Amino acid sequence: MSVELAIDVRGLTKQYGGRKVVDDLSIQVRRGEICGFLGPNGSGKTTTIRMLCGLLQPDGGEGTCLGHDIRHEARRIKLRVGYMTQRFGLYEDLSIEENLDFVARAYGMARRKEVVHDTLERLGLLARRAQLAGTLSGGWKQRLALAACMLHQPELLLLDEPTAGVDPKARRDFWQQIHALAADGLTVLVSTHYMDEAERCHRLAYISYGRLLAAGTADEVIARAGLVTWELRGAALTDAVALLQSDPRWMVVPFGSAVHVSAARGADLPAWLAEHAATDRWTPTAIATGLEDVFISLTEHADDNIA
């Protein structure tokens, strides 16, 4: 195990009802980096996160989290990790300060009032300290949940779709906080469906049906996908989509008033359209392949684990 790795697991496997929801997954996250953990709903992200922080016992695989064995030292891992779940899990009939005080008591913290005050100040909650959690907007609940995760000064944050259901400004503010924490040395593994958030991460890991399909920086993931992409514009684009979908080489995704068409490197959409359609109906323009194009392609070509 390298001291540079906060997470280093190999062959991680978890089954439910005979189905592998996490299947031979290996992932490494360096200390001090933000790793985006991506994949469609049901891909195994939450199950993986729970195994990493000691809440679930793997059926197979081995490795370490913060230097501790994930199978035999789960309690030690829990004390050094902050885990923010998808759903708000604090008490809505308590104030922001009372919720944080409750969490501090649960950890048996010394200097509890000082720790709570410092956390309120650091995460911009001091002015709202007396407000009931149940009256907070989604963005402020998110900030409170993050504060609760940070009370015990963890070395690793595991964030499970933390920005789901909050407005764009709240998402932007949240990511500014995450980058500030990472700059201080905190390691972050964050699951998200948002491509703009994925691009904010130092590295990415993409899974589908429990299997790791891609890992690396955003540029590395895009380059390794080996895709070429065009933006298609013109009238009656639904006709273009239907035509292109008749040939399995093309991956077709509507993007506003245009359509993105991707295929393996070497494909030639303009030549194909010239052969199969009136060339003046639609105009293809070569564009850079984006993360969303790559991830849609990976998911479409992944094998389903329901069998």
Q: In terms of pLDDT, which residue wins out, 42 or 13?
A: 13
Indicate if 170 and 232 belong to the same structural domain.
Answer: no
User: Could you list the residue range(s) of the whole structural domain that residue 278 is in?
Assistant: 227-288
Whether residue 205 is predicted with pLDDT greater than 90 in this model: the reply is: yes
Q: Is residue 23 part of a domain?
A: no
CATH of the domain at 81: 3.40.50.300
How many structural domains is the chain composed of? 2
Percentage of the chain exceeding pLDDT 90: 72
In this prediction, residue 1 has a pLDDT band, given cuts at 50, 70 and 90, of: very low
Indicate if 180 and 280 belong to the same structural domain.
Answer: no
Indicate if 267 and 164 belong to the same structural domain.
Answer: no
pLDDT (mean) for 214-241: 94
Residue 3 confidence (pLDDT): 58
3-class DSSP string for 172-221:
HHHHHHHHHHHHCCCEEEEECCCHHHHCCCCEEEEEECCEEEEEECHHHH
Indicate if 170 and 263 belong to the same structural domain.
Answer: no
Structure confidence by residue, pLDDT tens digits, 269-297: 999 999 988 767 899 999 999 999 999 88
Indicate if 76 and 175 belong to the same structural domain.
Answer: yes
Indicate if 264 and 180 belong to the same structural domain.
Answer: no
Q: Is residue 296 part of a domain?
A: no
Residue 67 confidence (pLDDT): 94
Q: Is residue 49 part of a domain?
A: yes
Query: To 10 degrees, the CA torsion angle through 222, 289, 227, 194?
Result: 60
pLDDT (mean) for 154-167: 90
Residue 199 confidence (pLDDT): 92
